Structure 1
Amino acid sequence: MEKELFDIDQLISNRFLGTITPDNDQLLDKWIGEKIENQRYFSEQKKLWELFTMHQKMQQIDEHKAFQKISAQLFTRKKRNILAYIQRIAAIMLIPVVIASSIYILSEKTERKQQATVYNTAETPLGMRSSLVLPDGTKVWLNAGSKLRYPVLFSEKYRAVELCGEAYFEVKKDKKWPFVVTSGNMNIVVSGTTFNCNAYDENNQIETVLVEGQVTVINESATISKELLPNELAIFSKNNQQIVKSKINPEKYIAWKSGKLMFRDDKMDLVVEKLERWYNVEFEIKDKEITNYIYTATFIDESLDQVLKMLSLSAPIRYSVSERSKLGDQTFEKQTVKLYKK
Structure 2
Amino acid sequence: MANHPPGSEQLVAYFEGNITDAATRAAIESYIAADTEPQKIEAAMQQAWKNLPEPAIPAAPADWDKFRMIAGIRQPKTGFIRPMLAAAATLLLLASLGTFYFISHSMQPAQAIVWQEVSAGPRELRKVQLADGSTLTLFPGSVIRYNNLYNEKTREIRLQGRAYFDVAAVANKPFLVTTGHYTTQVLGTSFDIAERTEEKTIRIVLVSGKVRLLNGRRQPVSDLQPNQQLTLHTGNAQYNILPVAAQSTISWTSGRLSYDQVTLEEVCRELAAWYGTTIKIQRKDLGTKRITADFERMPLPTVMHILSETAGFTYREVADKIELY
Cα distance in 1 for partners of 2:169, 2:268 equals 36
Give the structure-2-normalised TM-score: 0.68
Provide the secondary structure at the position in 2 that maps to 1:275. helix
Structure 1's unaligned 5+ residue stretches are 1-30, 50-79, 92-103, 324-334
Cα distance in 2 for partners of 1:300, 1:89 equals 49
| Counterpart position of 1:218 | 214
Of residues 142, 145, 150, the one that matches 1:154 is 150
Query: Residues 289 and 201 from structure 1, CA distance in 2 versus in 1: closer, same or farther, beyond 3 angstroms?
Result: closer
| Counterpart position of 1:33 | 8
Of residues 269, 278, 285, the one that matches 1:289 is 285
Q: Does residue 1:129 correspond to 2:125, yes or no?
A: yes
Q: Does residue 1:337 correspond to 2:322, yes or no?
A: yes
Question: Deviations 1:87-112 (Å, cap 9, x if unpaired)?
Answer: 76779xxxxxxxxxxxx986997998
How far 1:236 sits from its partner (Å)?
Answer: 1.5
| Counterpart position of 1:98 | none
Cα distance in 2 for partners of 1:313, 1:159 equals 46
Provide the secondary structure at the position in 1 that maps to 2:266. helix
| Counterpart position of 2:100 | none
Structure 2's unaligned 5+ residue stretches are 1-5, 35-84, 98-106
Question: Deviations 1:177-227 (Å, cap 9, x if unpaired)?
Answer: 111111111111111111111013333110111111111112224555211
Which amino acid is 1:204 matched to? K
Tell me the C-alpha RMSD between the 2 structures. 3.5
Which amino acid is 1:279 matched to? Y
Pairs aligned (count): 255
| Counterpart position of 2:19 | 46
Query: Which of the two has higher C-alpha Rg?
Result: 2
Provide the secondary structure at the position in 2 that maps to 1:311. helix
Give the structure-1-normalised TM-score: 0.65
Provide the secondary structure at the position in 1 that maps to 2:171. coil
Deviates more, 1:230-239 or 1:119-128: 119-128
Of residues 204, 207, 212, the one that matches 2:203 is 207
Cα distance in 1 for partners of 2:281, 2:124 equals 24
Provide the secondary structure at the position in 2 that maps to 1:233. strand
| Percent identical | 28
Q: Do 1:284 and 1:338's aligned partners in 2 also have CA atoms closer than 8 Å?
A: yes
Q: Do 2:168 and 2:188's aligned partners in 1 also have CA atoms closer than 8 Å?
A: yes
Query: Residues 318 and 86 from structure 1, CA distance in 2 versus in 1: closer, same or farther, beyond 3 angstroms?
Result: farther
**5 Å matches for 1:1-342?**
33=8, 38=11, 46-48=19-21, 114-154=110-150, 156-222=152-218, 224-322=220-318, 335-340=320-325
Cα distance in 2 for partners of 1:312, 1:43 equals 60
